[in-house]
Each structure stands twice: as structure tokens, then as C-alpha cells.
Structure 1
Amino acid sequence: MLSVICNGRLVDGRTYNGEFLNIVIENDTIIEILEPDCKLPDNATTIDAKKNIVLPGLINAHTHGDTSLAKGLGDRWTLELLLNASPLTSESFRLQDKSLAARLSAVEMLLNGCTACYDLFSDFPIPELQSLEAVGEAYKKVGMRAVIAPLMADRTFWQAVPGMLDALPNHLSRKIDQISTAPGDTVIASVRHALKNWTHTDSIHLGLAPTIPYHCESTFFKSCRGLADEFGARIHSHLGESKMQAVVGQQLFGCSLTEYLDTLGIVSSDFTAAHCVWLNQQDIERLADRGAHVAHNPTSNLRLGTGVAKTREMIKAGINVGIGTDANTCSDGLNMFEAMRMAAYVSRIHQPDPDYWLSAKDVLLMATEGSAKALGLEDQIGRIAPKFKADLVFIDTRAIQYTPLNNARRQIIFQENGSGVKDVMVGGKLVVQDRKPVGIDYDDLRDKVSESIVRIRRISADQEAMVRSLEPVVSKFCVGLSSTALPIDRYIGL
């Protein structure tokens, strides 16, 4: 089946910046880009994109779909306080809660022009095939592409940080002792079963996400590498997100976390490192040499006060950098327009030379082609070009942010907030039309989410009380640990 998108203004991170061009689509794939005066194919369905910018679907290189039910839980949370609150996010979820969370995340992303994501979904304590299939089906039903990489660890946050358990009062320590991860070999066996029996091979892929280097034994990480090699799956991990992580890495391993993972054989062309704030130049060069990818999450880094990543240095070294939103608990919206704008802004506080700053073109390329490479889908998505999937976003140029329309690409990056998104297409099919999701009943989804939250809040009341009691102790301990001097500094201040 042929269709032609006519009269639209194309924008991408390469060459298009508002030119009127026609896009010819066969089934789910772009086959040709035509000048406006070219003859259109016979028997093609015409889609009029008049008064629309047509953009490649944005790609979220790092998020956590399970946290869509945990919006608004924290305010002045550091990363460590967010991890301390993990019992409030998804640990009490039933199967239907996991499906609801994934659907809600997918809808939010699609409404904001995002057509694919790398979702590090938490299925605590053991990622199971049934749960992961439910998450995959949720994305598929809404109409989004996804790489689902379940978070995995064989230590809890409190166990992983040296000295933290000893710093807790006895009554809180006893409560923490009741929270445990599953044995590492059990987790690995369950994920192996999921990879072996995974059936969503067209638009939903399965990956691995050993969460934070020192939350996992070295043998656990090596087992993840073995699974990735055996099944052709990708690996995604948080790396150098906060100063405390960098400090703990030095204490435990005598080297940076990047070097540690490299000695385990983890860092490779199928590896995506999220955040990478507290990396030194040697770490950056190591990632570049191995062909690894970075998922830059500037909004989350600012929200959690972890510092500012040196993305320009990464790009100069040859690292592929994508852009992510991170989670609803720390970003707070799954809005790639906000993430792109913030990526451009924070690049400008390192130094006054504008040649060092990320441009609108840079960040749009990162959020499309860069993120596609991080997902391992660079030959399928992220571009408006022949042989690429017809994943497209239609932005209404009548919106206030485009009046007047002087430079389409710049106005998308520096002014668009998602409100201009009118339609979204994935694989040649409209999944958002007139600002409404097509594949699901949003009112029904909202009602079910509301019902689910009442139950979750009721059964997690004891955990919430524990988390709030832990917060001042955990904060004091982690802030103290973070005061340890390091050769690098990623805070912006005196």
C-alpha cells in the first residue's frame, strides 16, 4: 500500500530545516522523498500535511516506565534519596499495574512526539517473562517501539553502599533487612528464560539492565555479558550518575566505575551508559574506544542535583550520545522536547565559547539518530530517508511557538513543549490523531490508573513511613560520603 505525505515542512538533524517536500511510504517504510512539483505515484493515498512540520519520531534513550504511577512522590530528592524510595515505586505492583504503568508511559511519550524508547523497567525482585510480556504488549497496543531492559541487581541500595547499614538506627536496620533482592543466579536464570522465549521481535525488543555497577557482583555482570552475547541483546547501565557513585567506585574497586566495567568485559558497542556525569577524560576515551553509547539525561541530572555531564567532550571523542528523559520520579515528565532543550542549555554553562555549546541541530540529531544507535535500531528509525520506518511527528505550525516561523529547527528545540504535536505516525500508521491516542481509550486508562493507585498507596503505607524515616539518615550519610574530594568536579558553582 502506497501513501504520500504532501505539503509538509521537513525538519531533521541533518539537512532539512523547513523545506516543503513529499514523503512516499510503502506499507511501514519510507521509499522516496520527492520535490513538491514531482508527479506523485498512481493509486497512492494522500495525506495532507499542510501547515505542519514533519519531524522524525523522537527516541528516548533512557527511561523507567514503571515509575509513571509514582509521579509527585519526591521534591528535594538526591539520586540516593530516590533510590531509598524504591519501595514506593513498583515493588508492590501486580501484573495489571505493570501493564498500566507501561501504557501510561507510552501514551505520555507519544503525545510528546516520542515514537521509541529504551525502557529500564523495574520488575522487582525477579524479572519474569509474564511481566515483561505484559509490558511489551502495553507498548505494542499503544503503538510505540521499545527496547525493554529489566533492571537487575543482586544487592539492595542499602547493602550496596559501604557503611550505610551500620549507619542506620537498629529499628530501621531491621526493616531494611526484610527487603532483599533475589539471588543473582535466580535472576539470571529468569532473564535467560525470558530472552529464550521472547516473541516480540518486530517492534518490541528485550535487553538487559544491570542497574548500577556496585549494586551487582562482578559474576552477575559477567553473566549479563554472557546473556547479551548469546542472545544478541543489548546492555544498559547507570554509570557515574552521581558523585557518590564515583566515590564508592574508587573505594570498592580502586578505579573509576567505567574502568571497572571495562575490566569485566561489559563495555562494548552493544553497551549504553546512562548519565555519565562523573567521568574523567580517560573514562570518556575508554567508552569511545569500545564503541559504547551514552544516554544523556540533563533534566534528571538537574532535578536530582547530580551535576552536569560534559557531552561536548564525549562527542568530540567520538562517542555516540543519545538523549533520554529518565523517569517520572526525577525528570519529571517524559517529554523529549524538554530534554532536548535542557541538553542545549546545560552545555552552555561549562565555558563561554559558543563553539563548545550544543546547537539545535546537535541535540535534534542526538534525540533521533543518536538515540536510535543506543537502542541498536539505527538502520530502522531516527531519520526521514528511504528504507527507514515511517515514524513521523506532525507539528502544527499554527501554534504560538511557530508564529512567526523563522527557523523551524531552532523553534522546535527552543520553544516546543509538546503542545504543538498534532499527529504521530509509527510504521506508517497514525497512533496519535488530533492530539488523542488512537490505540487505546485514554479515559478508561486514566480511570484504571486512579483505581490502581488507591490500592497501591493503601498497601504501601508502611513502606512510605519507613522511607520517610530513613530519609534524614540516608541523606546525611550520602552527603557526607559525597564530600570526599575527587580529581574532577561536575557541579557548577564557586
Structure 2
Amino acid sequence: MNFTIQNVLIATHDDYATVDVQVVDSKIAAIAPKLDVIGAVFNGSNKLLLPGFFNAHTHSSEMWQRGIMSAFPLELWLAELYDFAPLDLEKVYLSALGTAVETLLSGGTSVVDHLVLIPGQELETIATANRAYQEVGIRTFIAPLIQDESLAAGMPSGESPQNHEPYFRSTSATLEIIEEAVKKFHHPDAGISILVAPTGIQLCTDALFTGCIELSDRYDLCRHSHLLETKAQEKLAQEKYGCTAVEHLNQIGYLSDRTSLAHCVWLSDRDIKILAETQSTVVHNPLSNLRLGSGIAPILKYRQAGVNVTFGCDGASSNDSQDLLEAIKIGSILHNVTDLDYQHWITPRQSVEMAALGGAKGLNVADKLGSLTVGKQADLVLYDLTNLSLLPRTDPIGLLVLGRPTNIVDSVWINGQQIVANSKVTTINVDELRQELFKHSQWETKRKSSTVAQIETHYRTVMDLPDSK
């Protein structure tokens, strides 16, 4: 699709300019005032144009449990999640649609889905999520969530070594599934990429990590993982490796400029230096880290060390939302309380760059996406600056990042194709999606997890918490 956006506001180095933007063959062809019209014309008056943001870490299927999860730390929260997460392919499809729509309407044009796989239907799960994302038209990085150790292995043993049940699927079988997924679904030029994505050191053997490294190198895939989300994982790493998780992942070769790591809350200064040296990316998920009591990731330290940082919503039952602008706001101003030197604080313009170009760098597509640059692909978001939540007029990006903007996305283009027009997703029927999500769910209040009951005493012991009342 060829088109011209006329008289639109864009950010310059330290100000704004009103320009025309030409898109030809799905790429930005020119940015300047008063350009000749090419193709369809869009009125950009009183609107702000930005590159699309990346929702750089989420779990779409968690949508089915948002709003009900107990106030638990991650290790117990996961036990409850798994006890009440019998998925079917229809729910995988609907929650992927919902994740895509919410991401689009909060400024995101790309999503990294650390996708939970239905046992025995792994490839069907990936195919179903893929179908949903293609129908919406959002740019998608599917990161099938894999592990080869059972849930109990994710907690430190402390002074009472635990015997863990073997995982139901072998490491080699898991790697075969991922390779088959790459062969079937990895089509970056069509907007769908597959990532290798072991869930994290807490539930994965070195054999799984090294197998993923081999697949990543063979098929030129990006790598993704959770990393040191909780204090318990920091303890576990010392038990397993006798060093930090970052040091170990660096030793086995998992860290690279194609590696993005979600959370990164409990890292040492030496760990941070390793991330900078390996050019690994940190995906900051502030809302889930607060919701689960995981801690505050030292994002200002990362930025000062030269580590690339971007934002993610995380799954909708540890955040309870897929509002990317909310994650960006909290993930920026949260750190003002961690450093008295205000010159280190994250400005709104830096937040926008982290959300767009930072996400592109983490997925090895910064040469194609992440900024309004001639020659890059047209993943663009147009914001309505006359919306009540962006008034009265001051600094447009300041209003966008620091305010509570609602219904402010006017238009979205992905690879030059318009996906949102007049604040409505045009590719699917969102009213029908709402009805289906309602029909496939029910009002719930309290529930009890049998697995939490089994492991809570051990968790409290190894985390030096008093006995439960």
C-alpha cells in the first residue's frame, strides 16, 4: 500500500516538526514538509506519528485468569496458575486475538508471545496462535515456552534436598518440536517469527539451553528467556551452578545481541557488565514484578552500563492488562525512587525510544523497525492529540507517557497495511471477540490450589519466612 500522511507532528531531536510522510511499497519513502501526494491521503493534523512499540514479553493464554490470581510470589503463583489452566485451542485462539487487539490499541505493533503450549498439541497451539495473529495483522514473534524439568525444580532446595518428578517430555523431543515449528511457521518477511525460548534457568537443563543455542545459530533465530525474576531464582542459581545465573548463561553461550531476557530483577553489578558486553537486551515488566512482589529491576543501572532495555506487559494474569502505555509509564517513573540523582531518571522521549527502537534491537530488527527513518518498514502509530486525555496541549510525548491516555490511537499501519482506522481494529470484528471471551468464561471469586498447599511450607522455609498461621 502506498500512502501519504499530511501535516502530521513528529518528534525531532529536541522538538517537534509538522511534516508529510510518504510510504511506498510498505516502507517509509520520505519525511519532509509539503511532499507530493503518493497513493491514499491521510490527514495528520493535530495528530502525533510515532514508530510502533514492542510488547516485548507476554503470555497470551494467561488472559483467562486475569483478575483472579492470588497474592502470591511467582513460585506459588505459578503453581496456582497451572492448577487452573486447562487450555484448549479455542481459548488459545481467542486470547491471542485479545492480546493483539489490546497491544495495538495501546501503541504496539509487535508482540513477543512466550506462548504456553498445550501438552500433546504443541504444534497445534503454535499454529492456532499464529492464525489469530495473522488475522489481526500484528507483527508477531512467537516464543514457544519450553522446559524440561518439573515445576518443583524451580524452587531452591535449601537444607532439605528435594526429589523432583521427571518432566513428562524429554529434552530431545522438546527440541524436535521447536525445530518443526521453525520449519512450519518462521516467516519473518510475512510478519511471523519463531524464537527459541526456554522458560528460564529454574526449569531448564543446560542440555535444553545448548540445544536452543544450536537451533538459534542454525536457523538465525533470536533467543528469549525469563531471567532472575525472583530472589528464589537467585538462590537456586547458586545451588545449581555455584555462580550467578548470568555468569552461567554466559559460560554456555546463551547471551548475545539476539538474546532478550525478561525481568532481570536480581542481578549483580558484574552481571550487568556481562549483559552489556554480550549486547543482550533486558525486557522490563514492571507491573508483574510489582504484582508478584518480585522486586524492582535496576533499570537505571542497566541504562548507565549501556544495556539495551525495552518494555513488556507480561502475561495478563500477572499484570491483568495488556496496556503497553501503562507498562511504559510505570516502567519509567518507578525508578525515580531508586536513584536520588534525577539526571539518571528516564524522560518520556527516552521511554518512547526504549519501547520502539529498544524492542527492535532486542529482536535483531533495528535495521528495519523502531524509528521514523526513511527506508524502514512502515510500522506506524498515529495518536489523536485532540483526545480529552491528551489535553490541554503541552508536550505531546509527555502527555502520552506520563498521563493516563485512553482511546488515543487513531490509526495503525503494520508493514504499510492499515490495521486500525478511526480508533477501530479493521481486520477482525472486536465486538464478536468480546462476546466470545465473555461466553467462554464465568464470574469467579475464591479458589484453592492443591499444588500451592503442597509446596507452600517448603517455599516459606527456604525463603526464611515465618511459619504460616
Q: TM-score, normalised by structure 2?
A: 0.92
For 2:296 and 2:79, the matched residues in 1 are separated by 22
Q: In structure 2, which of residues 349, 357, 360 is the aligned counterpart of residue 361 of structure 1?
A: 349
Query: Equivalent residue for 2:60?
Result: 65
Q: In structure 1, which of residues 36, 40, 43 is the aligned counterpart of residue 36 of structure 2?
A: 40
Q: CA offsets, 1:140-176, max 9 Å, x none?
A: 1111001100100011221332449x899xxxx9xx9
1:17–1:66 distance in 2 versus 1, CA, 3 Å = farther
Q: Does the aligned pair in 1 maintain the 2:185–2:192 contact within 8 Å?
A: no
Q: Does the aligned pair in 2 maintain the 1:118–1:148 contact within 8 Å?
A: yes
Query: Equivalent residue for 1:93?
Result: 87
Give the AA of the match of 1:136: N
Query: Equivalent residue for 2:8?
Result: 8
Q: Does the aligned pair in 1 maintain the 2:61–2:115 contact within 8 Å?
A: yes
Query: Equivalent residue for 2:283?
Result: 295
For 1:379 and 1:319, the matched residues in 2 are separated by 18
Give the AA of the match of 2:234: A
Q: Does the aligned pair in 2 maintain the 1:275–1:296 contact within 8 Å?
A: yes
Q: Does the aligned pair in 2 maintain the 1:151–1:209 contact within 8 Å?
A: yes
Deviation at 1:89, TM superposition (A): 5.9
Q: What's the secondary structure of 1:60's corresponding residue?
A: strand
For 2:385 and 2:156, the matched residues in 1 are separated by 54
Deviation at 1:319, TM superposition (A): 1.2
Query: Equivalent residue for 2:463?
Result: 482
For 1:394 and 1:197, the matched residues in 2 are separated by 34
Mean Cα deviation higher: 260-269 or 427-436: 427-436
Q: Does the aligned pair in 2 maintain the 1:128–1:194 contact within 8 Å?
A: no
Query: Equivalent residue for 1:140?
Result: 134
Give the AA of the match of 1:451: K
Q: Does the aligned pair in 1 maintain the 2:10–2:18 contact within 8 Å?
A: yes
Q: What's the secondary structure of 2:440's corresponding residue?
A: helix
C-alpha RMSD of the superposition? 2.6
1:197 and 2:172 are equivalent in the alignment: no
Q: CA offsets, 1:245-266, max 9 Å, x none?
A: 1011112211111111112211
1:89–1:121 distance in 2 versus 1, CA, 3 Å = farther
Query: 1:201-350, aligned counterparts within 5 Å?
Result: 201=188, 202-350=190-338
Q: What's the secondary structure of 2:185's corresponding residue?
A: coil
1:104 and 2:98 are equivalent in the alignment: yes
1:355–1:126 distance in 2 versus 1, CA, 3 Å = farther
Q: In structure 1, which of residues 39, 49, 54 is the aligned counterpart of residue 49 of structure 2?
A: 54
Deviation at 1:295, TM superposition (A): 0.5
Query: Equivalent residue for 2:433?
Result: 445
Determine which structure has greater relative contact order: mean sequence separation of CA pairs < 8 Å that are 6+ residues apart, divided by chain length. 1
Give the AA of the match of 1:331: N
Q: CA offsets, 1:284-318, max 9 Å, x none?
A: 11111111111111111111111111112112222
Query: Equivalent residue for 2:175?
Result: 188
Gaps of 5+ in 2: none
Q: Does the aligned pair in 2 maintain the 1:67–1:89 contact within 8 Å?
A: no
Q: Does the aligned pair in 1 maintain the 2:74–2:294 contact within 8 Å?
A: yes
For 1:249 and 1:477, the matched residues in 2 are separated by 17
Query: 1:94-173, aligned counterparts within 5 Å?
Result: 94-125=88-119, 128-163=122-157
Q: TM-score, normalised by structure 1?
A: 0.88
For 1:307 and 1:290, the matched residues in 2 are separated by 24
Q: Does the aligned pair in 2 maintain the 1:10–1:16 contact within 8 Å?
A: no
For 2:201 and 2:273, the matched residues in 1 are separated by 19
Q: Does the aligned pair in 2 maintain the 1:343–1:358 contact within 8 Å?
A: no
Deviation at 1:133, TM superposition (A): 2.1
Query: 1:315-464, aligned counterparts within 5 Å?
Result: 315-453=303-441
Q: Does the aligned pair in 1 maintain the 2:56–2:359 contact within 8 Å?
A: yes
1:126–1:380 distance in 2 versus 1, CA, 3 Å = farther
For 1:418 and 1:352, the matched residues in 2 are separated by 31
For 1:63 and 1:208, the matched residues in 2 are separated by 15
For 1:190 and 1:101, the matched residues in 2 are separated by 22
1:70–1:197 distance in 2 versus 1, CA, 3 Å = same
Query: Equivalent residue for 1:492?
Result: none
Deviation at 1:192, TM superposition (A): 1.2
For 1:180 and 1:349, the matched residues in 2 are separated by 42
Q: Does the aligned pair in 2 maintain the 1:113–1:418 contact within 8 Å?
A: no
Percent pairwise identity:
27
For 2:24 and 2:340, the matched residues in 1 are separated by 47
For 2:121 and 2:255, the matched residues in 1 are separated by 23
What is the aligned residue count? 464
Q: CA offsets, 1:433-490, max 9 Å, x none?
A: 2222111111222222233336xx99xx9xx96x523435544433442349xxxxxx
Mean Cα deviation higher: 381-390 or 421-430: 421-430
Q: Does the aligned pair in 2 maintain the 1:127–1:150 contact within 8 Å?
A: no
Deviation at 1:428, TM superposition (A): 2.2
Q: Does the aligned pair in 1 maintain the 2:49–2:382 contact within 8 Å?
A: yes
